[in-house]
Structure 1
Amino acid sequence: MTSLTEEVSRTLNIYKRKYIEYTKCLVRDKEIIIDGRPEEKVRQLFIYFLVNKSGLFPNKIDIKVESDHHDIELYKIVKNKYFKPYCPPLMIVEVKREEENLRNHEKQIEKYLKNSCSEIGILYNYHQIIAYTNKNAVFTSNNLNSLTDIPPLILQSSNNIENDILDFEKAVNGSFDSFNYLTNKYGKYALNTITFRLKSEQLPIAGCFFRFKDNKMYYDIYGKYAKKQQSFNYQDFEKLVSIKY
């Protein structure tokens, strides 16, 4: 395997100014110092792979760097402008210097996954890649052979969002079952605004705190919370308009 120093020199655009080495981050679009920052070198190699080699950026994933105390976060690109709910990162990546024992950081990545409700975490030190999956706070780990093993994990995780987009389209076309599923997933609280239409109302309604009981959907008008919730019979549902964070 090529040494980290050789790989950095071969892959990244390195330049010096006043004897200090810099490169330009492909995500943040700004120059960063890499002299004396071994973890940053590893991170920039990982970012280079995502941007130039994974085949996922920019059409299928969005990349955030140093977001919410995480080294790298990956998000699914959702092209439907009316379906923009809050979604946790598809993947959280923590990079370490090349000589670091990744197993010493398992608790860290598991904590990040649990707190963010993300399903996949990666520990990477250039020489080793460990993938962690989070299923209801039960964690499993798997050693990956190379960075090329990562895109299939991302695509597998993003399938859940693709399924929700299908339900969104069904609800837009009048399916109450899909609407009920989506409100249960995205509308239990006030994190997202769910806008919908009823057959008996002329104007669309923006709601939150949805719950379905005895063939009735209960909800609050977004921003106008009362002791008694609004409600409608499921047969009065006309269509879903949007779900937005």
Structure 2
Amino acid sequence: MKSLSEEISIKLKIYKRSYTEYTKCLIRGREVVLDGRPEEKVRQIFIYFMINKSGLFPNEIDIKVESNNHDIELYKTVKNKYFKPYHPPLMIVEVKREEEDLQNHEEQIERYLKKSGSEIGILYNYHEIIAYTKKDAVFTSNYLNSLKDIPPLILQNSNKLEKDILEFEKAVNGSFDSFIYLVKKYGEYKLNTITFRLKGEQLPVSGTFFESQDHQVNYLRNGKKRQSLNSQDFEKLVSIIY
């Protein structure tokens, strides 16, 4: 295994100005200082792998850096501009300097996962990788052999969202059952706005705070008045937007 310094010299474009080393972050698109910032070096190597070696960027994942107080967040790439409900990150990555004991930061990554609703967290210091997975509020940790073990974890989590995309397409084509499935999952609160068409109405309707029972859907229409609809009223779903 190459040293971190060797990896950086091979994979990153490094330049000096006033005796200080810089590189251009592949995600943020701006200069970042490397001198005296050991965690930034590890972060840039991780980003390089995700962009150039994982086979997931940009078609399957979107990458955010220094977002929500997390070093790196990975999200599923939005492929349909009309289906953009809130989703927690597919994965949260916290990078540490080379000599750092990753196990000392277990509580940190678990806290981030709990707060964000994300199910997978990674601690990475270039030499070691620990993956944390959350299921039913229980955490499991495993050491990974290399960064190549990360894409399968991402895809496993990402595939859970594919069902929702299929249900969205069905609802857009008029399936009331799919519409009910989606409002139960994404419409309970004000977090997402669900827009749909009703038969006999010229303009689409936007709703929040959905409740459904016995194929009857109640909702707050345009933020003003509670109304209800059933399969006879429903024409098609238009969008779900965070």
Q: Is the 8 A contact 1:193 1:222 kept in 2?
A: no
What is residue 222 of structure 2 aligned with on the other side?
222
* Residue 200 of structure 1, CA deviation: 4.0
SS in 2 for 1:234: coil
Sequence identity (%): 74
**1:243 equivalenced with 2:222 (yes/no):** no
- How far apart, CA to CA, are the structure 2 residues paired with 1:141 and 1:231? 46
* Aligned residue number for residue 38 of structure 2: 38
Moved more, 91-100 or 153-162: 153-162
Q: Which segments of structure 1 move beyond 4 Å, counting only runs of 4 or more?
A: none
* Alpha-carbon distance change, 214 to 162 in structure 1, aligned in 2, over 3 angstroms: closer
Q: Which runs of 5 or more residues in structure 1 are unaligned?
A: none
2:4 & 2:66 partners in 1: Cα distance? 22
Deviations 1:176-201 (A, max 9, x none): 11111110111101111101112243
Q: Is the 8 A contact 1:194 1:243 kept in 2?
A: yes
Per the normalisation by structure 2, the TM-score is 0.96
2:58 corresponds to = 58
Q: Report the Cα distance in structure 1 between the residues aligned to 2:88 and 2:222, rounded to whole angstroms.
A: 22
Matched residue type, 1:231: S
Distance 1:50 1:222 in 2: 41
Q: Please report how far the alpha carbon of residue 223 of structure 1 lies from its aligned counterpart in structure 2 after TM superposition.
A: 2.8
Superposition RMSD in Å: 1.2
Q: Which moved more, 1:65-74 or 1:80-89?
A: 80-89
User: Contact 1:42–1:96 at 8 Å: present in 2 too?
Assistant: yes
**Secondary structure of the residue that 1:113 maps to in structure 2?**
helix
How far apart are the structure 2 equivalents of 1:178 and 1:140?
A: 33
Q: Distance in 2 between matches of 1:136 and 1:187?
A: 22
CA distance in 2, matches of 1:144, 1:241: 42
In 1, the alpha carbon distance for the partners of 2:127 and 2:232 equals: 58
Matched residues in 1 for 2:145 and 2:109: separation? 19
Do the aligned residues in 2 keep the contact of 1:190 with 1:222 (CA within 8 Å)?
no
- 2:163 maps to what in 1? 163
The answer to whether the 8 A contact 1:73-1:91 is kept is: yes
Distance 1:114 1:103 in 2: 18
Query: Structure 2 CA distance, aligned partners of 1:232 and 1:240?
Result: 13
- Distance in 1, matches of 2:78 and 2:162, equals 9
2:83 alignment partner in structure 1: 83
Q: Distance in 2 between matches of 1:85 and 1:64?
A: 17
What residue identity is the alignment partner of 2:69?
H
Local SS of the residue matching 1:150: helix
Paired residue type of 1:208: T
In the alignment, structure 2 segments of 5+ residues that lack a partner are none
TM (norm. structure 1) is 0.95
Distance 1:58 1:193 in 2: 26
8 Å CA contact 1:42, 1:126 repeated in 2 = yes
